[in-house]
């Protein structure tokens, strides 16, 4: 286990370094830079040159990278070029917003999607299955923007209420925090639940058709025992994989939902940083996304090893 | 013009206010000329062009009309669709920044709506006979948000900082004619110019730079800190600017003008989605919001308690014609395009009724500085004449060209399709190419803009509007490679001329050349459209689009 963990950590580190180089080069391949954005149609070339020098954009790219990565290794992601704030002060709160959205969405998706998927799988081709599949297909087909907007407009029309516009962290007030997040979480959670339910259903159906399950049922093992010991354990790995996918997807930013509900999350931070060519914020935020995806993957892999001995042998 | 019709709808109120402002400016001009006359009689060596007493300056209603029965207090919730990309008046040129920062930072003059620079942190000024030395008396009793008193040293420092290109300000170019700024005494500064420039007071306004404490930028980190701290003299202080969330301002208790501002605080909520903004408006989460898309305005037009108002604007949408393209280097082709364009049709397609078709001047300055619309040459649509010009230029069979439009500018999509149809009539096939703003700005700044839509604005002064964009290099930037000697000479003449009537005549001649040789086709000025709830009182929208008016706004109890 120890050596496995070491190997994984080393691989992750290598990936992170490669990702950081890629991110660094990619953001610089987008035409236009922060100086052009700040100057717009105004300003002369002298002033633009002075600003480029201030931001270090006059240096060769490898020097810019070395300066940046040296600072990153010391825990310093630099200052935002447009906001002046330390990048960590901007990414930190945004990441917490996104993390909360991700965890709550995952909770809703799991609590709704997994039971629905199991029920649909067990009652394959029965009316309940058809009803659940209808929900699944609608959820898979509906764009998140549309669902969010319909919820926002619908709730406003029916009860004359819309969420507050200024985000309040959960640490300051749970009720205020939830009143802001209820609609976005409902939109994301229901859509993810539909995908989750469809995925779990397929796994349950295939587990039910496995010979050992049929044998167990034929042998007269109580259905409850068959379900928990044979079916659930077998669908647990795909369920955890899917959890990881949902987390990674939402941690990467849910810019549409964040824009719709005025949430100051990582997605909007990334989008604004791209628009203003704010490289330090962009690089820092992308690095956080990459690292958190790697952490989630690592946790998922380690969980496999805990619940399935075969993975350990492999 | 539509905005002169004061009898219709909510626009009426705006028109009335505009007229009131014009009235006060007339009074000011008369007083000013009387003083000049008096000084000549006294044989003074210094010529005073604009010597205002503070009381008269107050009557000029800085920031908007004074409110009768104003109530003090309250927190205004204003919605913003576009987030300011920073709060730095020295290094950030974006209009979304200026709109808000004018409430926190102040220059020496205020951009009077009709083209007059009104003393703000200045109290008055005198110009030497040769027009090269401006001696500016400063307002007394002004305190910085940091607590210190504003002195001449702070003013000289701030303007010396911005005019030095090594400090990286986009405004540096506007100050290139200033050779020196020095302290005369604690309450007087002297600006020395290399060339006569009648726009100097307007240049010392609120677009770029502001008066900040002397030595503020000595610490390199100040370039970062200025986005998060409040070091100006304005009616509001910056309290908090949380990215992607909100900007919070609070009343400056030490503000030099007694009794204002009325509001205790302003919260700007940044909500980038207009559908969500409309829901927030309906549920009273937002009290005031500027909207730019007509379909959004229409959605709230019937909501009780909301008032839609339209205001004239100094912004313009335009087609720019870069002469670096072979076809566009022929003036006859440019003229043909101008004649084929139906500006009314483009206006209707882009913003419906919420705009004013232009000749050669933005709508907010048409009356004060615009060439009368019936005198503007090469205005279409006149397809026959356009076709004849195309044939004369050797393009009887037409040609294919790329029209560049910019992501995120809603009006450009319908406008590009409309223009495509219009130019097809004279054989020009347009390939529409949408680019990111960063790409577009790069092309623009390197004078490789080609054939493109543009969306820009300037302060209410013809020199500041035209000089940089249209004067030959190196004095101007001549982004469109127009390279027109006659126009450049007129721009130099207009900048140096102090007499308003002569100046107007010069700019009329310039606009005639501009329309006749077509480096640009000004399409329309989009109205500033604001939606406010009933409780928001005495709000006016300045034609620049900047939110000066919030310093005079109050909330009804």
* Cis peptide preceding B381, ω within 30 of 0: yes
Tell whether A150 is within 8 A of chain B (Cβ). Answer: no
Closest chain A residue by Cα to residue B442: A32
Nearest to B206 by CA among B183, B228, B174, B179: B174
Tokens 């509900």 map to which residue?
A261
Distance from CA of A173 to the nearest CA of B (A): 17
Look at B441 and A41 and tell me if their CB atoms are within 8 Å. Answer: yes
pTM (2 d.p.): 0.86
**DSSP assignment of A27-39:** HHHSSS-HHHHHH
**pLDDT for res B262:** 96
Distance from CA of B169 to the nearest CA of A (A): 6
Angle in degrees, CA A58, A279, A88, rounded to 5: 125
Q: Confidence class of residue B129 from pLDDT cuts 50, 70 and 90?
A: very high
Nearest to B173 by CA among A35, A40, A51, A46: A46
**pLDDT for res B445:** 81
Distance from CA of B395 to the nearest CA of A (A): 32
CA distances from A90 to A79, A203, B245, B246, B407 (A): 9, 41, 11, 13, 26
Tell whether A261 is within 8 A of chain B (Cβ). Answer: yes
**pLDDT for res B9:** 33
Distance CA B82, CA B103 (A): 17
Q: How many Cα neighbours within 13 Å face the side chain of B70?
A: 20
**pLDDT for res A309:** 74
- How many angstroms from the chain centroid is the CA of residue A127? 34
User: What percentage of chain A has pLDDT greater than the value 90?
Assistant: 51
SS3 B321: strand
Q: Confidence class of residue B50 from pLDDT cuts 50, 70 and 90?
A: very low
pLDDT at B14 > cutoff 60: no
Burial B509-534 (b: 16+ CB within 10 A, else e): bbbbbbbbbbbbbbbbbbbbbbbbbe
**pLDDT for res B42:** 36
Q: What is the pLDDT of residues B211-265, one digit of tens each?
A: 999 999 999 889 989 999 999 999 999 999 998 999 999 999 999 999 999 999 9
Q: Confidence class of residue A12 from pLDDT cuts 50, 70 and 90?
A: confident
pLDDT at A273 > cutoff 80: yes
Nearest to B212 by CA among B156, B250, B136, B135: B156
Nearest to B33 by CA among B58, B51, B56, B45: B51
Beta strands at B122-127 and B117-119: parallel, antiparallel or unpaired: unpaired
Q: What is the pLDDT of residues B225-236, one digit of tens each?
A: 999 999 999 999
Contact A91, A288 (CB under 8 A): yes
ipTM associated with this complex:
0.87
The residue-averaged pLDDT of A149-175 equals 93
Distance CA B498, CA B496 (A): 6
- Which residues, in sequence order, are bridge partners of residue B536? B555
- Residues in A 57-116 with any Cβ partner in B closer than 8 A: 79-80, 82-85, 90, 93-94
Look at A36 and B165 and tell me if their CB atoms are within 8 Å. Answer: no
The beta-carbon contacts of A138-142 under 8 Å, at least 24 apart in sequence, are A138/A194, A139/A190, A139/A191, A139/A193, A139/A194, A139/A195, A139/A197, A140/A191, A140/A194, A140/A195, A140/A198, A142/A191
Nearest to B383 by CA among B391, B374, B373: B391
Tell whether A257 is within 8 A of chain B (Cβ). Answer: no
pLDDT at A71 > cutoff 60: yes
The residue-averaged pLDDT of B117-140 equals 96
**Cα separation of the two ends of chain A:** 12
The residue-averaged pLDDT of B166-173 equals 89
Tell whether A31 is within 8 A of chain B (Cβ). Answer: yes
**Residue numbers in B near A84 (CB within 8 A):** 86, 88, 223-228
Contact B536, B287 (CB under 8 A): yes
Cα dihedral sign, B292-B294-B295-B301? positive
**Residue numbers in A near B85 (CB within 8 A):** 37-38, 82, 272, 275-276
Q: What is the pLDDT of residues A208-261, one digit of tens each?
A: 888 988 898 899 888 888 888 888 888 888 888 889 988 988 887 688 999 999
User: E-strand spans in B103-199?
Assistant: 109-111, 117-119, 122-127, 133-138, 178-185, 188-193
Q: Confidence class of residue A19 from pLDDT cuts 50, 70 and 90?
A: confident
Number of inter-chain CB pairs under 8 A, A vs B: 175
Cα dihedral sign, B232-B234-B239-B243? negative
**Residue numbers in A near B438 (CB within 8 A):** 30-33, 36-37, 277
Look at B85 and A277 and tell me if their CB atoms are within 8 Å. Answer: no
Minimum mean pLDDT range among A33-37, A205-209, B273-277, B524-528: A33-37
Q: What is the pLDDT of residues B488-526, one digit of tens each?
A: 999 999 999 999 999 999 999 999 999 999 999 999 999
């Amino acid at each position: 286990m120890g050596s496995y963990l070491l190997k994984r950590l080393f691989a992750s580190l290598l990936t992170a370094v490669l990702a950081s180089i890629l991110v660094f080069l990619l953001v610089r391949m987008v035409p236009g830079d922060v100086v052009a954005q700040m100057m717009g149609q105004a300003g002369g070339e002298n002033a633009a040159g002075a600003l480029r020098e201030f931001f270090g954009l006059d240096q060769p790219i490898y020097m810019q990278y070395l300066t940046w990565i040296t600072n990153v290794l010391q825990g310093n992601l630099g200052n935002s070029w447009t906001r002046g704030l330390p990048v960590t002060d901007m990414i930190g709160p945004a990441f917490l917003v996104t993390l909360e959205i991700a965890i709550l969405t995952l909770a809703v998706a799991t609590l709704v999607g997994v039971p629905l998927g199991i029920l649909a799988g067990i009652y394959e081709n029965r009316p309940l299955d058809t009803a659940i599949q209808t929900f699944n297909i609608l959820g898979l087909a509906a764009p998140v923007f549309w669902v969010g907007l319909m919820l926002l407009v619908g709730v406003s029309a029916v009860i004359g209420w819309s969420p507050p516009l200024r985000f309040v962290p959960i640490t300051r007030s749970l009720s205020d925090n939830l009143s802001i997040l209820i609609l976005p979480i409902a939109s994301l959670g229901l859509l993810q639940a539909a995908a989750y339910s469809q995925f779990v259903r397929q796994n349950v159906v295939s587990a039910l058709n496995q010979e050992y399950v049929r044998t167990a049922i034929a042998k007269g093992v109580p259905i409850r025992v068959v379900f928990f010991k044979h079916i659930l354990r077998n669908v647990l790995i795909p369920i955890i994989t899917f959890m990881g996918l949902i987390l990674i997807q939402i941690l990467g930013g849910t810019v549409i939902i964040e824009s719709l509900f005025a949430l100051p999350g990582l997605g909007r931070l990334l989008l604004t940083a791209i628009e203003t060519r704010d490289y330090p914020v962009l690089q820092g935020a992308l690095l956080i996304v990459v690292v958190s995806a790697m952490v989630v993957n690592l946790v998922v892999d380690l969980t496999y090893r805990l619940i399935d001995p075969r993975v350990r042998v492999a | 013009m539509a905005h002169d019709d004061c009898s219709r709808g909510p626009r009426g109120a705006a028109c009335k206010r505009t007229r009131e402002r014009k009235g006060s400016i007339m009074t000011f001009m008369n007083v000013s000329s009387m003083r000049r006359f008096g000084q000549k009689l006294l044989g003074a060596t210094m010529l005073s062009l604009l010597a205002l007493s503070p009381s008269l300056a107050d009557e000029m209603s800085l920031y908007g009309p004074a409110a009768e029965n104003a109530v003090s207090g309250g927190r205004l919730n204003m919605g913003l669709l576009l987030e300011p990309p920073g709060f730095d008046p020295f290094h950030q040129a974006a209009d979304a920044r200026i709109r808000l920062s004018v409430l926190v930072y102040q220059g020496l003059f205020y951009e009077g709506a009709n083209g007059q620079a009104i003393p703000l942190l200045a109290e008055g000024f005198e110009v030497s006979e040769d027009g090269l030395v401006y001696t500016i008396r400063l307002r007394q009793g002004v305190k910085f948000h940091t607590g210190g008193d504003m002195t001449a040293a702070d003013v000289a420092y701030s303007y010396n900082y911005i005019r030095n290109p090594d400090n990286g300000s986009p405004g540096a170019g506007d100050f290139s004619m200033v050779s020196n700024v020095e302290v005369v005494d604690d309450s007087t500064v002297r600006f020395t110019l290399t060339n006569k420039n009648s726009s100097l007071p307007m240049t010392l306004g609120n677009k770029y730079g502001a008066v900040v404490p002397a030595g503020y930028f000595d610490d390199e980190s100040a370039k970062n800190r200025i986005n998060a701290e409040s070091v100006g003299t304005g009616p509001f202080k910056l309290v908090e600017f949380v990215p992607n969330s909100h900007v919070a301002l609070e009343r400056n208790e030490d503000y030099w003008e007694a009794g204002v501002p009325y509001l205790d605080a302003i919260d700007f909520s940044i909500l980038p989605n207009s559908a969500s903004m409309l829901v927030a408006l309906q549920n009273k989460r937002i009290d005031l919001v500027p909207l730019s898309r007509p379909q959004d305005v229409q959605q709230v037009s019937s909501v009780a308690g909301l008032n839609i108002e339209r205001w004239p604007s100094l912004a313009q949408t335009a087609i720019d014609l870069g002469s670096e393209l072979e076809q566009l280097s022929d003036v006859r082709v440019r003229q043909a395009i101008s004649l084929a364009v139906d500006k009314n049709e483009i206006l209707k397609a882009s913003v419906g009724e919420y705009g004013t078709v232009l000749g050669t001047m933005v709508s907010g300055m048409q009356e004060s500085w615009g060439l009368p619309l019936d005198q503007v040459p090469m205005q279409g649509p006149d397809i026959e004449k356009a076709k004849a010009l195309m044939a004369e230029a050797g393009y009887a069979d037409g040609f294919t060209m790329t029209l560049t439009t910019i992501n995120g500018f809603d009006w450009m999509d319908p406008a590009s399709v409309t223009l495509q149809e219009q130019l097809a009539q004279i054989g020009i096939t347009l390939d529409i190419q949408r680019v990111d703003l960063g790409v577009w700005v790069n092309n623009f700044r390197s004078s490789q803009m080609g054939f493109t839509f543009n969306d820009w604005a300037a302060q209410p002064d013809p020199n500041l509007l035209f000089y940089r964009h249209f004067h030959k290099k190196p004095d101007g930037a001549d982004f469109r490679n127009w390279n027109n000697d006659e126009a450049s000479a007129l721009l130099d003449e207009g900048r140096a001329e102090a007499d308003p009537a002569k100046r107007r005549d010069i700019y009329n001649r310039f606009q005639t050349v501009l329309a006749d040789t077509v480096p640009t086709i000004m399409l329309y000025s989009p109205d500033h459209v604001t939606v406010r709830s009933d409780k928001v009182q005495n709000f006016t929208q300045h034609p620049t689009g900047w939110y000066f008016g919030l310093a005079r706004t109050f909330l009804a109890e």
